[in-house]
Structure 1
Amino acid sequence: MDVIDAIILGIIQGLTEFLPVSSSGHLELGKAILGDHSLPQESLLFTVVLHFATALSTIVVFRKDIWDLFKGILQFSWNDELKFSLKILISMIPAALIGFFFEEQLELLFNGNVLLVGFMLIVTALLLYLADKAKHTGKPVSYTNSFVIGVSQAIAMLPGISRSGATISTSVLLGNDKSKAARFSFLMVVPLIFGKIAKDLLSGNLSVEAQNTGILAIGFLAAFISGILACTWMIKLVKNSKLVYFAVYCFIVGLIAIGLGYYY
């Protein structure tokens, strides 16, 4: 992997982690169009570094919110911050269980199944379209909503289902305020990313070679910077009801993927 590859992969990770277009789906499409050997083969370590970068970009964008949560938790009282943190924990349950018990089965879906990606992108497009048309409300995320949104996050582990698109759309369709939906969606994934990183680190399969540190650093910076831009942009888009543009994009790419799936 060279410098250009690291920059491109970093930008893709940073953008698609937050924009509702499915990073996993686009990677599978890229493999089908360019061939399995035309794209750089990402090492586990490089993948961990990129996910760490996007997790940090979320923390930077929501640094005030996260700091307020920590201060509220440390007060050891049943305040709004502790309630919100509990909702985050509830939302993590479905994805954590699916990832723990069905990790190997999920990995089998990431083997160039372009047809599946196409249909799932169309599902993403439908969710985004419905969410874009939802009326503005001031309703906060409830405990029940948290679990349902968590289920949508677990479903988004399928290639072609956008995690941010699925969770924000589900939250909005449940009647939650759009800005609160975006905030909850981005914060709920941070513990899962750090948990996955910790699991990979403890597996003992990661190794750093001196000649790779520069590439890792470049990929990290690309993902970190693009992640900050994408996260900030998505918050504004959700508030201004611009999700329909991404719905159209996902629908078109989904149709192309289905065509490719039948062709291949």
Structure 2
Amino acid sequence: MGSIVTEFFKVVFLGIVEGITEWLPISSTGHMLLVDQFLQISGSEGFKEMFFVVIQLGAILAVVILFWNKMFPFQWSDKNSPFLIKETFLIWIKVVIACVPGAIVTILFDDYIDARFQTPQVIAAALIFYGVAFILIENWNKRRTPAITKIADINYQTAFIIGLFQVLSIVPGTSRSGATIIGALLIGVSRTAAAEFTFFMAVPVMFGLSAIKILKFGLTFSGEELFILVTGMVVAFAVSILVIKFLMSYIKKHDFKVFGWYRIILGMIVLLYFFLR
């Protein structure tokens, strides 16, 4: 591996990119793969493939800490005995249902997608396509009122439909949060409830994907590999704290169209760069 100081600054930058893009609907994996075209970390292809997924655990830890009171299904009474919060428990049941389609598709097609779709052209096309989708859906939503305004009001059928949309995110450049939010908005879920349900879904999805990637890579890391992985996760965690707070404040007063325009502009720049090159 290269100079540890050089690798440190590369990984810090990647951690910042991950922390920003994991929660905004602009595709963290797509951004990480694009950055890797210009700022490659040292290591084998297997390590980098694993790194780009496992670094997201730092971002997941941020959402768990910020939403702990909403996510943890137990509380303690005055007698120090835990009791189940039924509403939170039912949300997790719905999250599990929503995660089933994505889990099946990932297990069946993860290697195929990694081998054939992790290209700048595919990422750019996905960025543009879903950028247009965000703009069209938000324009359409101006003429209607959300039927579901709270995450607790999402029923089992709605959760499963949202999960079907999340399957689209297996293609790099789509965005896991973006696909989930687009699906939720289409079927009448408010922006705030859609974002919160996305946060809930991200926890089991990312732990599952990380476990798959780590087992595939193996549990033996060199000292430098472990340093790179931990540094990336810590930076992603710190940046995610700020980004999640920003997003939840932003969507109370604004729609998602700005992210749609960003995706379109970035996708066109990427296509133009690789076409001219």
TM-score bucket (shorter structure)? 0.7 to 0.9
Instruction: Give the Cα–Cα distance (whole angstroms) in 2 for the partners of residues 260 and 55 of structure 1.
Output: 32
Instruction: Spell out, residue by residue over 1:122-149, the C-alpha distance to the aligned partner (whole angstroms, 9 max, x if none).
Output: 2221232234342453513221221121
Shift of 1:216: 3.6
1:53 aligns with 2:58: yes
1:255 paired residue among 256, 268, 273: 268
Q: Contact 1:121/1:160 (CA < 8 Å) preserved in 2?
A: yes
Shift of 1:100: 0.5
Q: Contact 1:131/1:243 (CA < 8 Å) preserved in 2?
A: no
Report the counterpart of residue 152 of structure 1 in structure 2: 165
Q: Are the structure 2 counterparts of residues 39 and 96 from structure 1 closer, same or farther at C-alpha, using a change threshold of 3 Å?
A: same
1:217 aligns with 2:223: no
Report the counterpart of residue 236 of structure 1 in structure 2: 249
Report the counterpart of residue 85 of structure 1 in structure 2: 92
Shift of 1:220: 2.1
Instruction: Give the Cα–Cα distance (whole angstroms) in 2 for the partners of residues 235 and 136 of structure 1.
Output: 19
Q: Are the structure 2 counterparts of residues 203 and 128 from structure 1 closer, same or farther at C-alpha, using a change threshold of 3 Å?
A: same
Instruction: Give the Cα–Cα distance (whole angstroms) in 1 for the partners of residues 171 and 248 of structure 2.
Output: 24
Q: Mean alpha-carbon deviation: is it higher for 147-156 or for 21-30?
A: 21-30
Q: Are the structure 2 counterparts of residues 76 and 64 from structure 1 closer, same or farther at C-alpha, using a change threshold of 3 Å?
A: closer
1:4 aligns with 2:5: no
Q: Contact 1:46/1:216 (CA < 8 Å) preserved in 2?
A: yes
1:198 paired residue among 190, 195, 211: 211
* Secondary structure in 2 matching 1:97: helix
In structure 1, list runs of 5 or more residues that go unmatched. Answer: none
Shift of 1:241: 2.3
1:9-48 equivalences in 2 (<5 Å): 9-31=14-36, 34=38, 38-41=39-42, 43=47, 46-47=51-52
Shift of 1:177: 2.1
Q: Contact 2:54/2:213 (CA < 8 Å) preserved in 1?
A: no
Shift of 1:14: 1.3
Amino acid at match of 1:95: G
- Give the CA RMSD over aligned residues: 2.6
Q: Contact 2:62/2:240 (CA < 8 Å) preserved in 1?
A: yes
Q: Contact 2:29/2:52 (CA < 8 Å) preserved in 1?
A: no
Instruction: Give the Cα–Cα distance (whole angstroms) in 2 for the partners of residues 245 and 204 of structure 1.
Output: 37
Report the counterpart of residue 127 of structure 2 in structure 1: 121
Report the counterpart of residue 101 of structure 1 in structure 2: 108
Corresponding residue pairs, total:
256
Identical aligned pairs, as a percentage?
27
Q: Are the structure 2 counterparts of residues 15 and 136 from structure 1 closer, same or farther at C-alpha, using a change threshold of 3 Å?
A: farther
Q: Are the structure 2 counterparts of residues 249 and 76 from structure 1 closer, same or farther at C-alpha, using a change threshold of 3 Å?
A: closer
What TM-score, normalized to structure 1? 0.85
Shift of 1:170: 1.6
Amino acid at match of 1:16: T
Instruction: Give the Cα–Cα distance (whole angstroms) in 1 for the partners of residues 204 and 270 of structure 2.
Output: 32
Instruction: Give the Cα–Cα distance (whole angstroms) in 2 for the partners of residues 48 and 122 of structure 1.
Output: 23
Shift of 1:258: 3.0
Shift of 1:206: 2.9
Instruction: Give the Cα–Cα distance (whole angstroms) in 2 for the partners of residues 255 and 171 of structure 1.
Output: 26
Q: Are the structure 2 counterparts of residues 40 and 212 from structure 1 closer, same or farther at C-alpha, using a change threshold of 3 Å?
A: closer
What TM-score, normalized to structure 2? 0.81
Q: Are the structure 2 counterparts of residues 154 and 212 from structure 1 closer, same or farther at C-alpha, using a change threshold of 3 Å?
A: same
Instruction: Give the Cα–Cα distance (whole angstroms) in 2 for the partners of residues 204 and 254 of structure 1.
Output: 30
Q: Are the structure 2 counterparts of residues 122 and 205 from structure 1 closer, same or farther at C-alpha, using a change threshold of 3 Å?
A: same
* Secondary structure in 1 matching 2:192: helix
